[in-house]
Amino acid sequence: MKKTIIITGGAGFIGSHVVRLFVKKYPDYNIVNLDALTYAGNLENLKDIQDAPNYTFVKADIVDAERMDEIFKEYKPDGVIHLAAESHVDRSISDPLAFVRTNVIGTVNLLNSAKALWKDNYDGKLFYHVSTDEVYGTLGETGLFEETTPYDPNSPYSASKASSDHFVRAYGETYGMPYVITNCSNNYGSFQFPEKLIPLFINNIVNNKNLPVYGDGKYTRDWLYVVDHARAIDLVFHEGKLTDTYNIGGFNEWQNIDLIKVLCKIMDKKLGREEGSSAELITYVKDRPGHDLRYAIDANKINKELGWAPSVTFEEGLEKTIDWYLANEEWLESVTSGNYAKYYEEMYEGR
Ligand code: NAD
Ligand code: DAU
């Protein structure tokens, strides 16, 4: 069936994997990638599909309500997969308002434009919000986040994502907007901006720079290979229950320090360095304020209802990821030059 889908944030890390999957898998769909190209957005991420006949890129800021209305009127989407966001917790601590603008106001603008276009007939329409497990706050040593876990966000980033989730749900209740929300755990893989733990540490090891471990390094995250997240989004978009939410996770918990040691070991091998040399770069630094102790997802609902499960093991995914970064040093250099160098200095200086 012919469909037009607007994917927001398609030039970012996860968005570019979702755009690639949809463009390749659904030649009958028109895929419109709507992205403001902030520091985190990069059209290089989509070079391999940029000339596909079913792909269009539109540069626009979701905070601009009028522009969103124009774009929705022009492309008349049947569906929206909304990923555009400010996504880095540390940046949200320095500048919370930027997160309110994009993540809250931007999401409400998209909901309004979709409502204006669809309000007379919601049949076959879908607003899909891609969200995070951080909305649930933090776990203690045990337990898992379930779809019914109460929201309890701790950082400005997670508060803004929780707020946007609430707006999506409220538009469903109040205006009948057909929606679905997924809350996913930490992603890793190719094209991730090197401010996030795994690509940052790969880049620092390559350049023999310190590996800044926050606090005691005993924080736990549940890691998922980004291609598996994109597969889950495809499945939920096509088969998910309307007005429902699904948790997505890797069944793959790691304490930061253990993960970092594994990463160091693999990097020593790949770079032909003496075993233990990358680990010498580990430096314990001042903790992130409000640092959530542990995230871990119960992904049984999406597994049982839609048959989704991760397709690669962590060992395979990490190996592929490291190989990709080592083969794409130019990409790393281009995204880490300019403004990012300044950010790095400010974020880590004196920590
Ligand atoms: P990212 O920071 O890599 O990419 C964000 C994209 O959004 C960029 O292309 C950027 O240019 C675009 N963008 C930012 N502000 C915009 C604006 N005002 N208007 C239009 N475009 C704008 O983010 P990511 O890690 O790929 O995350 C994508 C989504 O998935 C986010 O909503 C995030 O909250 C969610 N998520 C991320 C993870 C993760 O581990 N990275 C996990 C769960 C959920
Ligand atoms: O759980 C999903 C979330 O995962 C997403 O919603 C976010 O967009 C994404 O950024 C990610 O958030 P985290 O804060 O968990 O990811 P980050 O890579 O920033 O940090 C992972 C862990 O590593 C966390 O415990 C903090 C720690 N850390 C991070 C950096 C950047 C360090 O110890 N040192 C660092 O320099």
- Written as six digits, the tokens of 15 are 């968005």
Supply the residue whose CA is at minimum distance from atom 36 of ligand 2: 212
Q: In whole angstroms, how far apart are CA 153 and each of 260, 289, 297?
A: 26, 13, 15
pLDDT interval class at 199 (50, 70, 90): very high
Least distant ligand from the CA of 138: 2
Query: Where does the pLDDT of residue 182 fall: very low under 50, low under 70, confident under 90, or very high at 90 and above?
Result: very high
Tokens 């204006």 found at: 116
Residue 251, pLDDT > 90, answer yes
* Ligand 2 mean position, distance from CA 33 (Å): 26
**Residues near ligand 1 with C-beta < 6 Å?**
9, 11-15, 35-38, 40-41, 61-63, 83-87, 102, 106, 130, 132, 161, 184, 186-187, 193
Task: Verify whether ligand 2 is closer than 6 Å to residue 139 (CB atom).
Answer: no
The CATH number for 131's domain is 3.40.50.720
- Indicate whether 212 belongs to any domain: no
Q: Which two tokens stand for residue 330?
A: 């130019």
Mean pLDDT value across residues 124-143: 98
What pLDDT score does 1 carry?
74
Using CA atoms, how far residue 70 sits from 37, 113, 115, in Å, is 19, 9, 13
Count: domains in the chain: 1
Judge whether 348 lies within some domain: no
pLDDT of residue 337: 85
Residue-number span of the structural domain to which 19 is assigned: 3-188+223-248
340 alpha carbon – ligand 2 mean position (Å) = 17
Note the pLDDT of residue 338.
Answer: 78
3-class SS of residue 212: strand
Asked if residue 339 has pLDDT above 90, the reply is: no
**196 Cβ below 6 A of ligand 2:** yes
Tokens of 47: 């070079």
Percent of the chain residues topping a pLDDT of 90: 95
pLDDT for the residue numbered 342: 82
Report the percentage of the chain scoring pLDDT > 70: 100
In a domain, 311, yes or no: no
| Any atom of ligand 2 within 6 Å of the Cβ of 135 | no
Helix (H, G, I), strand (E, B) or coil at 152: coil
Q: For residue 108, is it within any domain?
A: yes
- Does 341 have pLDDT greater than 90? no
Mean pLDDT of the chain: 97
Flag whether 18 is in a domain: yes
Residue 118 within any structural domain of the chain: yes
Burial 206-222 (b: 16+ CB within 10 A, else e): beeeebbbbeebebbbb
- For residue 180, which of 87, 45, 306 has the smallest C-alpha distance? 306
- pLDDT tens digit string along 284-316? 999 999 999 999 999 999 999 999 999 999 999
| Ligand 2 center–CA 284 separation, angstroms | 15
pLDDT in tens, 29-58: 999 999 999 999 999 999 999 999 999 999
Output the pLDDT for position 257. Answer: 98
User: Which two tokens mark 254?
Assistant: 């790691």
Is the pTM of the predicted complex or chain greater than 0.95? yes
Ligand 2 in contact with 229 (CB < 6 A)?
A: no
Q: Please give the distance, rounded to the nearest whole angstrom, from the Cα atom of residue 305 to the centre of ligand 2.
A: 29
Model pLDDT for residues 75-96, shown as the tens digit of each residue: 999 999 999 999 999 999 999 9
On whether residue 149 sits in a domain, the answer given is yes
Residues annotated as catalytic (active site), given as ranges: 133-134, 157
